[in-house]
């Protein structure tokens, strides 16, 4: 079997675990015991040897997917010429205390809904990214998988179809008639005997858990969507973000996968199973706007630990459990998705110098303090250290938000975020109990503004540009200038920048490319979804609301139910690229919906960007 399109997959999971299930009923990506662990099923990255767990009819069929309403419980339906069947997939979660290892499990329930059809099951685990020597045996407790290093899996099965070991996998086929059903329960690192009645109870509790959680965001999503037709997309975005949040630390995975290519045949295949500092400001904004104050508070606590680190030692990216060592390695044993190599685990961006991270941290703190958090003396000392450090280094070069690995440059976005750090620091000082001398901060802030305005804007391009060393390379990050209040949206240079982005980076299909110019690497065919949402926000601020709505609806036209977003979409073919599902894209969708809602002038959202003076950036003074 070959590779499927990324858009053919949907996600299931629970706290710190996820799996991708294709419309063909195959689990082609799943890592245990955490989302950032090595894969057990990895056909997404190697069609032959990566491993999978597939359930599907033997005859030709049509496959579709849907989530049980307001849950992350997935149903894949099959229809053949002779019958209909469904597979329900979920990772268990409950609000009551359960046994150790309860969540380290995956449940699959196959049932024949009508007629009759023959079903084939192929269970082919390949632990440790298919590198481990693995045995699959039938024992009294069910199918037992042992891999080098001690990793163990147990598969229990109940019903008229059983799988038997065959050359490193377990396979089985059976004829199903209406009403027949079978349960498969996969447990990692533990074995707890279950029964069909327990499986049904665990499914019931999992559905109830998700619906209780979704109830907390439904009213907010309805307020955000108002009369617009994107309520379901907002709710699904919230459910995806919930899957990507580690409940133990509050940190957020950027995506559930590694090495899904930005373009086929290129080398831009990265591991996104980490928490990026640059996402902080947008994460806080989205969580509050979805009414997830507890999640925002926990995320803030995660930042407190980083905040108190020596500024020179703060990394652009961390593991969600606080890991600092993210050594990047290539897995030459895997072919890569659609043969796009290398396959990477770890991320060398952790060792890069990205000056924008300081503004992201201070802005996230600033935004959180607008609600009901507070800074203690140690927090304030840490912020002051960061601001002093920014004064020392803002005029140096770095790798930038896009983490280019070649030449370091004076990226305009990095300078903007340094300006944000200084500006917010000065504002925070006004509310502190200390008598803080901000003279140097103000001096450096003014110097930064002058540098950005004089060296970051190109009359020839009619736009702010990507970095100080160019007059023509464009970058969608310049759309953030009015969002961060560096300049008002009505400023003629901002208006010109928006127009240039729409002329040069916006496709006919309404999607925005990340950058364009003679000194940028190939962006491939895909447009970067978060950049499209930045354009929506900038247009709303510029009082160009109908244009903003057009861009927003054009993005949504490229996704179908169940409304999962990748990093990029090819405007011509609609094909998804990059790691999936992408938190950054879902956060952008939620936040842009907020802007559009507030542009109506009658918004009553608690955390909206509407003030008495009119529409303002969400991150505002």
Q: What is the mean pLDDT of residues 494-516?
A: 96
Query: Is the model's pLDDT at 278 over the cut of 60?
Result: yes
Q: In terms of Cα–Cα distance, which of 133, 297, 289, 299 is closest to 221?
A: 289
Query: Is the model's pLDDT at 611 over the cut of 60?
Result: no
How many Å apart are CA 449 and CA 442, to the nearest integer? Answer: 11
Of all residues in the chain, the percent with pLDDT exceeding 90 is 80
DSSP state of 349: G
Of all residues in the chain, the percent with pLDDT exceeding 70 is 96
Q: In angstroms, what is the C-alpha Rg of the chain?
A: 25
Q: Which residues lie below 8 Å from residue 39, measured CB to CB, with a gap of 6+?
A: 29, 30, 31, 45, 50, 51, 126, 127, 128, 129, 130
Query: Is the model's pLDDT at 618 over the cut of 70?
Result: no
pLDDT of residue 96: 87
Query: Is the model's pLDDT at 577 over the cut of 70?
Result: yes
How many Å apart are CA 323 and CA 318, to the nearest integer? Answer: 6
pLDDT of residue 366: 84
Q: What is the mean pLDDT of residues 424-447?
A: 89
Q: In terms of Cα–Cα distance, which of 248, 256, 258, 272 is closest to 321?
A: 248
Query: Is the model's pLDDT at 159 over the cut of 80?
Result: yes
Q: Is residue 474 within 8 Å of 460, Cβ to Cβ?
A: no
Structural domains of the chain, with CATH: 6-211 (2.70.98.10), 226-615 (1.50.10.10)
pLDDT of residue 619: 40
pLDDT of residue 369: 78
pLDDT band at 607 (very low <50, low <70, confident <90, very high): low
pLDDT of residue 461: 96
Query: How many C-beta atoms surround the C-beta of residue 383 within 10 A?
Result: 24
Q: What is the mean pLDDT of residues 302-311?
A: 88
Q: In terms of Cα–Cα distance, which of 419, 407, 526 is closest to 473?
A: 407
pLDDT of residue 449: 98
pLDDT of residue 521: 76
**What are φ and ψ of residue 77, in 5° steps?**
-110, 145
Q: Is residue 159 within 8 Å of 181, Cβ to Cβ?
A: yes
528-543: burial string, b at 16+ Cβ within 10 Å, e else: bbbbbbbbbbbbbbbe
Q: What is the mean pLDDT of residues 525-531?
A: 93
Which residue is listed with tokens 């020839």? 460
Residues recorded for the chain: 621
Query: Is the model's pLDDT at 603 over the cut of 80?
Result: no
Q: Which residues lie below 8 Å from residue 454, measured CB to CB, with a gap of 6+?
A: none
- For residue range 396-409, what is the model confidence (pLDDT) as tens digits? 999 999 998 888 99
Q: What is the mean pLDDT of residues 308-321?
A: 95
CA dihedral 21, 24, 25, 28 (to 10 degrees): -40
Q: Please name every residue paired with 277 in a beta bridge, in sequence order, or none if there are none.
A: none
Least confident of 78-87, 99-108, 174-183, 376-385: 376-385
Query: Is the model's pLDDT at 606 over the cut of 70?
Result: no
- For residue range 128-138, what is the model confidence (pLDDT) as tens digits? 999 999 999 99
């Amino acid at each position: 079997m070959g590779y499927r399109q990324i858009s053919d997959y949907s996600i299931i999971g629970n706290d710190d675990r996820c799996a991708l299930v294709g419309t063909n009923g195959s689990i082609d990506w799943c890592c245990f015991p955490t989302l950032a662990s090595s894969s057990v099923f990895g056909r997404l990255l190697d069609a032959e040897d990566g491993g999978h767990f597939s359930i599907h009819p033997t005859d030709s069929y049509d496959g579709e997917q849907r989530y049980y309403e307001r849950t992350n419980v997935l149903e894949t339906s099959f229809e053949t010429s002779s019958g209909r069947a469904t597979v329900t997939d979920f990772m268990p979660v409950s609000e009551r205390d359960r046994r150790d290892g309860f969540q380290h499990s995956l449940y699959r329930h196959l049932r024949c809904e009508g007629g009759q059809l023959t079903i084939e099951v192929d269970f082919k685990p390949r632990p440790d990214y298919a590198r481990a020597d693995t045995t699959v045996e039938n024992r009294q407790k069910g199918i037992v998988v042992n891999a080098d290093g001690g990793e163990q899996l147990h598969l229990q099965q109940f019903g008229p179809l059983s799988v038997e070991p065959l050359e490193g996998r377990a396979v089985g086929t059976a004829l199903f008639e209406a009403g027949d059903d079978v349960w498969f329960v996969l447990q990692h690192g533990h074995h707890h005997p279950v029964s069909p009645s327990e499986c049904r109870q665990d499914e019931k509790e999992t559905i109830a858990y998700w619906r209780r959680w979704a109830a907390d965001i439904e009213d907010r999503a309805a307020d955000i969507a108002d009369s617009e037709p994107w309520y379901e997309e907002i709710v699904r975005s919230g459910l995806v973000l919930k899957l990507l949040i580690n409940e133990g630390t509050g940190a957020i995975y950027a995506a559930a996968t590694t090495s899904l290519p930005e373009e086929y045949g290129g080398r831009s295949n990265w591991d996104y199973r980490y928490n990026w500092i640059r996402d902080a400001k947008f994460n806080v904004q989205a969580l509050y706007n979805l009414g997830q104050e507890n999640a925002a508070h926990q995320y803030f606590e995660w930042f407190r630990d980083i905040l108190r680190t020596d500024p020179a030692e703060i990394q652009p990216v961390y593991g969600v459990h606080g890991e600092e060592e993210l050594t990047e390695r290539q897995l030459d044993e895997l072919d890569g998705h659609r043969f796009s190599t290398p396959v990477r685990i770890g991320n060398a961006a952790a060792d890069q110098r990205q000056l924008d991270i300081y503004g992201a941290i201070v802005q996230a703190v600033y935004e959180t303090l607008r609600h009901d958090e507070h800074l203690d003396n140690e927090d304030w000392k840490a912020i002051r250290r960061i601001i002093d450090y920014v004064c020392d280094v803002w005029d140096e070069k770095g790798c930038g938000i896009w983490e280019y690995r070649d030449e370091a440059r004076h990226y305009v976005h990095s300078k903007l975020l340094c300006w944000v750090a200084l500006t917010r620091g000065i504002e925070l000082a006004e509310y502190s109990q200390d008598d803080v001398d901000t003279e140097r901060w103000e001096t450096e802030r003014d110097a930064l503004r002058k540098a950005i305005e004089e060296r970051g804007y190109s009359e020839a391009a009619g736009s702010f540009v990507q970095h100080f060393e160019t007059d023509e390379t464009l970058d969608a990050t310049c759309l953030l200038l009015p969002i961060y209040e560096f300049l008002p949206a009505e400023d003629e240079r901002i208006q010109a920048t928006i127009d240039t982005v729409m002329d040069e980076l916006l496709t006919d299909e309404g999607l925005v490319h990340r950058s364009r110019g003679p000194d940028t690497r190939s962006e491939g065919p895909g447009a970067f979804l978060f950049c499209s949402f930045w354009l929506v926000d900038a247009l709303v601020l510029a009082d160009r609301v109908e244009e903003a709505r057009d861009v927003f609806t054009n993005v949504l036209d490229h996704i179908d139910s169940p409304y999962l977003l990748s990093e990029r979409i090819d405007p011509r073919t609609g094909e998804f690229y990059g790691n999936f599902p992408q938190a950054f894209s879902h956060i952008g969708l939620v936040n842009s919906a907020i802007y559009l809602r507030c542009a109506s002038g009658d918004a009553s959202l608690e955390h909206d960007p509407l003030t008495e003076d009119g529409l303002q950036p969400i991150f505002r003074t």
